[in-house]
């Protein structure tokens, strides 16, 4: 599946990237999306990559065959969005072996918003016989900055697509490789990580880490090093997600934490977009 | 005369945007083409105007320029603007001007297409390329035809995947051409096809009202029946309903059947796929449900201490304690108290985390499964009612008590923390809670003591009566100052005052306003009335009447008999008339004057039991 998508989008000029090296809540946060899309000096950028997504709150101890704290997205960015972007996307489904005529494939309004990144866009969830297989978004704003060049983002849910293609009812039974199921590979890890995320992760350490990452991000922004600063933003965001999973965040504290991450993301975006020319990468 | 077709092809528009376009297109057509559209056809992928009898030229137009007297100064500029020489300007009625010839429709229609694109106003729009146009979703093609002449664009597109680009031979052939291309362009016709399909299956319901959206989710509706494994029927029915309606926009058919509206596709393939999706969702819900049931509602209730209700207002366990006290104060019995103890237990459940909109229902189901009496679970179920302006009230007495307690607590806590709603911002739904309380007190006949609400809350809640009752707002404002203890009494008193015929009400009103005006203007009223200082008959009679009437009014108000209270008050009218006629209040003797002022204050206080009557304009 991943090979097919890599080949399909590779042929269409996408740079095939690798997953990022710190915990992300969505493939959107990967610098290959967030930074490239934001960059006004980059009029064109196409990329595709797999991203393991870490969402501590979604863990179910490996007992629920539909919810996990770790799963895979396949992320495609086409900047600018070509006029035939939907046709290209639908053809990718056909390349995966989905018969577009036999199935009921449609686009259902679903607008996307990521408050911690100060980001939003309009788009759809793509239904294949009512199963949501992709989130499709035209980004409008990232880091609180209106985008000049509008990209299209396609996020395929690889486990969901796998269920669909293999006709399976449970992700545990998904054939991950010949003779090897998803459950064989990930179920125990789901159990242990759920226990860690919900019960064991030390709250005081996480709170301290959040503060430290935040402070370091601010310091790096001061020193005009937006790229390392961005990693610190991601890490503080993950620390917040962990605190949330530990039940250590009340409703109002939640708003305050989100506000702090958003402020960082905004400051980062302004520096990154403003600091033309001598920026590395 | 010509037939005009304008089609704007889009990527899939949200249903709300389709409805906005549907509402605005006729007016836009009138404004631009000067003609009523024959058809407005909307699908998720196209906005279409079909217009018959359009003149093929716009009429010639006389453009009035500067007055003849200004020829020297202004004619050159005017002529230049209109592309003619100064000598070519004509003179009519003392003005210079130019006859601007009408333009052919073919020339002007492309401008109208742009005019439609830019003239539609949507609540949510986006950009997708650099041309600056904002629309709910990208516009991918435009087509405009005058009869068989293509003026804008090349052709149209049929349904995705089954029909590619299509040729449009003639504007008037639009409907049949699209139908051949697997698209039903007419939203009403699609709706009819869907309803017919649902009727054929029978027994369909649409509790959350998704039909209106489904009409704009498909271009070619095909109603497909699906079933799920009957073992999922153990789930609370609302969970099944929400899964079917909310997640896949399908319609429950009762038991384990449902109807899905597909946008084409092979029926058997689609059916198998949807059943799989529904079962997957229900399996997910069952998993959570079974874990919750294993824990049980009583244990869930014990976990509430760990869940914050509201920053600064403690946990849900604290809220539960406050609810119990309020339920008691509201006269709730054992069942209501039990319901209060369990009311918020489902906040600790996993199922409510997944289906937040089902709070209350989930708790009720868990209470039933734990064997609690129906009065208890029904109250838990109904605690959030009424949840809208016309939504029903709780049907059970315990439900009404619990609902009122919940609303009072939420209001007291939110106001206490300074979260008073402002004009446009009411994130905690406090206005709705206040209106709910008012309706519980009036329509629900629930006795709600005003003192249970913090003063600021009571004021906010009672203010809501102004929009809720038929009585004019002044009567409501007057009644809010009345000495009644019960929230519903404020409303009933306002209505009784407003219902009183003018000739009965006028004397009371006059008496109240005169008494209070005079008594408040003059200083030096006596502390208490001294009978020995009463001189005139009119005075004595008024005092006697007051002594009789005052307790009558108080008792009638306590008994909720507002008609009687108002009647008693009316008895003072003629006596006061006589008093003002016969008695000089500002008497020479200071003691007498002080005594008379005291008497007037007493009159005001007695009538004031009915409210601040001076609020009511005469």
Mutate to test the interface with B, among A129, A149, A160, A255 (most CBs of B within 10 A): A129
In this complex, do A169 and B310 lie within 8 Å of one another by their Cβ atoms?
Answer: no
The 10 Å Cβ neighbour count of residue A165 is 17
**Could you give the number of structural domains in chain A?**
2
Nearest CA in chain A to B138: A83
In this complex, do B273 and A111 lie within 8 Å of one another by their Cβ atoms?
Answer: no
Kindly report the three-state secondary structure assignment for every residue of B346-397: HHHCHHHHHCHHHCCHHHHHHHHHCCCCHHHHHHHHHCCCCCCCCCCCCCCH
Q: For residue range B62-78, what is the model confidence (pLDDT) as tens digits?
A: 888 888 888 777 888 88
- Whole-number Å distance between alpha carbons of B536 and B552: 25
What pLDDT, on a 0 to 100 scale, did the predictor assign at position A275?
Answer: 54
Name the B residues in 252-291 with CB < 8 Å from any A CB.
Answer: 260, 262-266, 269-270, 272-274, 276-280, 283-284, 287-288
In a domain, A171, yes or no: yes
In a domain, A279, yes or no: no
My answer on whether A184 and A268 are in the same domain is no
In a domain, A70, yes or no: yes
Could you say which of A197, A212, A229 is where a domain stops? A197
Distance from CA of A127 to the nearest CA of B (A): 9
What pLDDT, on a 0 to 100 scale, did the predictor assign at position A250?
Answer: 67
Q: For residue range B519-571, what is the model confidence (pLDDT) as tens digits?
A: 777 778 888 889 888 888 889 999 999 999 999 999 998 888 888 888 888 88
What pLDDT, on a 0 to 100 scale, did the predictor assign at position B521?
Answer: 77
- Whole-number Å distance between alpha carbons of B547 and B553: 11
B188 CB-near residues (< 8 Å, 6+ apart): none
In this complex, do B15 and A109 lie within 8 Å of one another by their Cβ atoms?
Answer: yes
My answer on whether A129 and A149 are in the same domain is yes
My answer on whether A15 and A147 are in the same domain is yes
Looking at the DSSP bridge assignments, the partners of residue B10 are: B139
What pLDDT, on a 0 to 100 scale, did the predictor assign at position B97?
Answer: 87
**Strands across the sheet containing B139-146:** B39-43, B46-54, B2-10, B139-146, B149-152
Residues in B closer than 8 angstroms to A83, CB to CB, are 129, 140
Q: Give the predicted TM-score (pTM) of the model.
A: 0.80
CATH assignment of the domain containing A29: 3.30.930.10
In this complex, do B263 and A149 lie within 8 Å of one another by their Cβ atoms?
Answer: no
Residues in B closer than 8 angstroms to A102, CB to CB, are 265-266, 269
In a domain, A281, yes or no: no
In this complex, do B287 and A64 lie within 8 Å of one another by their Cβ atoms?
Answer: yes
Q: What is the ipTM of this complex?
A: 0.91
Residue ranges of domains in chain B, CATH in brackets? 2-57+105-180 (3.30.70), 62-100 (no CATH), 187-295 (no CATH), 305-483 (1.10.3210), 500-615 (1.10.730.10)
What are the angstrom distances between the C-alpha of B400 and each of A128, B153, B297, B342, B437?
44, 62, 21, 15, 9
My answer on whether A19 and A41 are in the same domain is yes
Token readout for B507 is 């004397």
**Strands across the sheet containing B251-252:** B222-227, B257-262, B251-252
My answer on whether A256 and A152 are in the same domain is no
In this complex, do B265 and A90 lie within 8 Å of one another by their Cβ atoms?
Answer: no
Could you say which of A197, A214, A243 is where a domain stops? A197
Looking at the DSSP bridge assignments, the partners of residue A123 are: A137
My answer on whether A231 and A188 are in the same domain is no
Per residue of chain A (281 residues), give pLDDT as tens: 999 999 999 999 999 999 999 999 889 999 999 999 999 999 999 999 999 999 998 888 888 787 899 999 999 999 999 999 999 999 999 999 999 999 999 999 999 998 888 899 999 999 999 999 999 999 999 988 999 999 999 999 999 899 888 988 789 999 998 999 999 999 999 999 999 998 899 999 999 999 999 999 999 999 999 999 999 999 999 999 999 888 777 666 777 888 899 999 999 999 998 854 344 44
In a domain, A165, yes or no: yes
CATH assignment of the domain containing A213: 1.20.58.180
Could you say which of A176, A197, A218 is where a domain stops? A197
- Whole-number Å distance between alpha carbons of A8 and A13: 9
Within chain B, which residues score under 50 in pLDDT?
Answer: none
**Residue found by looking up tokens 């058997």 in the block:** B268
- Is B552 exposed, middle or buried, given 0-12, 13-18 or 19+ CB atoms closer than 10 A? middle
Q: Is B136 on the interface with A (CB under 8 A)?
A: yes
In this complex, do B11 and A130 lie within 8 Å of one another by their Cβ atoms?
Answer: no
In a domain, A280, yes or no: no
Nearest CA in chain B to A123: B137
My answer on whether A41 and A105 are in the same domain is yes
């Amino acid at each position: 599946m991943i090979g097919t998508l890599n080949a399909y989008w590779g042929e269409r000029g996408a740079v095939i990237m690798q997953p990022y090296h710190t915990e992300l809540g969505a493939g959107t946060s990967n610098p290959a999306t967030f930074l490239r899309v934001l960059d006004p000096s980059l009029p064109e950028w196409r990329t595709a990559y797999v991203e393991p997504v870490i969402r501590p709150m979604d863990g179910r101890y490996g007992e629920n065959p539909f919810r996990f704290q770790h799963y895979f997205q396949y992320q495609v960015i086409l900047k600018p969005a070509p006029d035939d972007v939907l046709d290209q996307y639908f053809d990718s489904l056909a390349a995966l072996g989905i018969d577009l005529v036999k199935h009921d494939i449609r686009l259902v309004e679903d607008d996307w918003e990521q408050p911690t990144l100060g980001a939003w866009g309009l788009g759809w969830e793509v239904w294949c016989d009512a199963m949501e297989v992709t989130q499709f978004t035209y980004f409008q704003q990232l880091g609180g900055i209106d985008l000049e060049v509008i990209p299209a983002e396609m996020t395929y849910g690889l486990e969901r697509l796998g269920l669909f293609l293999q006709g399976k009812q449970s992700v545990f039974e998904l054939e991950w490789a010949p003779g090897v199921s998803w459950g064989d590979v990930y179920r125990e890890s789901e159990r242990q990580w759920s226990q860690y995320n919900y019960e064991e992760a030390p709250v005081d350490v996480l709170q301290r880490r959040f503060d430290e990452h935040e402070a370091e991000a601010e310091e790096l922004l001061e020193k005009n090093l937006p790229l390392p600063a961005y990693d610190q933003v991601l890490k503080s965001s993950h620390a917040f997600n962990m605190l949330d999973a530990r039940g250590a965040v009340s409703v109002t504290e939640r708003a305050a934490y989100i506000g702090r991450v958003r402020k960082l993301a905004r400051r980062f975006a302004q520096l990154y977009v403003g600091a033309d020319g001598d920026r590395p990468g | 005369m010509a037939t005009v077709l304008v089609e704007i092809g889009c990527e899939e528009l949200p249903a709300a945007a389709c409805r906005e376009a549907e509402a605005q297109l006729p007016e836009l057509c009138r404004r631009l083409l000067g003609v009523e559209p024959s058809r407005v056809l909307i699908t998720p992928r196209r906005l279409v105007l079909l217009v018959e009898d359009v003149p093929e030229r716009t009429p010639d137009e006389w453009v009035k320029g500067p007055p003849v007297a200004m020829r020297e100064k202004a004619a050159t500029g005017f002529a230049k603007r209109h592309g003619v020489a100064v000598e070519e300007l004509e003179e009519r009625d003392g003005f210079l001007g130019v006859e601007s010839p009408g333009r052919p429709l073919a020339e002007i229609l492309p401008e109208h297409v742009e005019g439609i694109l830019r003239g539609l106003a949507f609540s949510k729009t986006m950009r997708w390329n650099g041309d600056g146009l904002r629309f709910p979703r990208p516009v991918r093609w435009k087509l405009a035809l005058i009869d068989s002449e293509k003026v804008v664009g090349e052709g149209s597109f049929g349904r995705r995947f089954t029909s590619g680009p299509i040729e449009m031979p003639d504007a008037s052939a639009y409907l049949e051409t699209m139908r051949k291309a697997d698209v039903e362009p007419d939203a009403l016709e699609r709706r009819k096809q869907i309803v017919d399909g649902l009727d054929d299956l029978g027994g369909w319901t649409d509790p959350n009202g998704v039909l209106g959206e489904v009409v704009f989710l498909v271009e070619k509706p095909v109603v497909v029946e699906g079933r799920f494994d009957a073992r999922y029927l153990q789930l609370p029915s609302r969970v099944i309903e929400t899964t079917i309606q909310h997640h896949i926009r399908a319609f429950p058919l009762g038991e384990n059947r449902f109807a899905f509206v597909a946008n084409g596709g092979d029926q058997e393939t689609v059916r198998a796929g949807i059943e799989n999706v529904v079962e997957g969702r229900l399996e997910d819900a069952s998993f959570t449900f079974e874990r919750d049931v294993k824990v049980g509602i009583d244990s869930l209730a014990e976990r509430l201490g760990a869940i914050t209700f509201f920053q600064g207002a403690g946990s849900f366990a604290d809220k539960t304690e406050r609810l119990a006290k309020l339920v008691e104060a509201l006269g709730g019995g054992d069942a209501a108290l039990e319901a209060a103890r369990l009311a918020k237990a489902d906040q600790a459940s996993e199922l409510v985390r997944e289906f937040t909109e089902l709070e209350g229902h989930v708790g009720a189901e868990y209470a039933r499964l734990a064997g609690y009496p129906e009065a208890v679970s029904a109250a838990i179920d109904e605690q959030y009612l009424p949840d809208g302006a016309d939504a029903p009230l709780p049907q059970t007495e315990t439900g009404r008590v619990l609902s009122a307690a919940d609303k009072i607590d939420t209001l007291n806590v939110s106001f206490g923390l300074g979260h008073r709603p402002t004009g446009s911002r009411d994130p905690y739904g406090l206005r709705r809670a206040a209106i709910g309380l008012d309706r519980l007190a009036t329509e629900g006949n629930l006795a709600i003591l005003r003192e249970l609400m913090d003063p600021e809350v009571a004021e906010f809640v009672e203010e809501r009566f102004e929009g809720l009752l038929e009585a004019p707002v002044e009567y409501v404002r007057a009644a809010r100052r009345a000495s009644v203890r019960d929230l519903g009494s404020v409303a009933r008193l306002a209505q009784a005052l407003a219902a009183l015929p003018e000739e009965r009400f006028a004397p009371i009103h006059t008496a109240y306003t005169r008494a209070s005006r005079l008594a408040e203007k003059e200083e030096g009223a006596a502390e208490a009335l001294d009978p020995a200082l009463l001189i005139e008959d009119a005075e004595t009679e008024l005092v006697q009447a007051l002594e009789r009437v005052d307790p009558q009014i108080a008792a009638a108000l306590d008994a909720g008999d507002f008609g009687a209270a108002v009647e008693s008050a009316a008895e003072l009218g003629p006596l006061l008339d006589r008093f003002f006629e016969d008695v000089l209040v500002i008497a020479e003797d200071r003691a007498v004057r002080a005594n008379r002022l005291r008497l007037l204050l007493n009159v005001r206080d007695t009538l004031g039991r009915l409210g601040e009557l001076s609020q009511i304009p005469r």
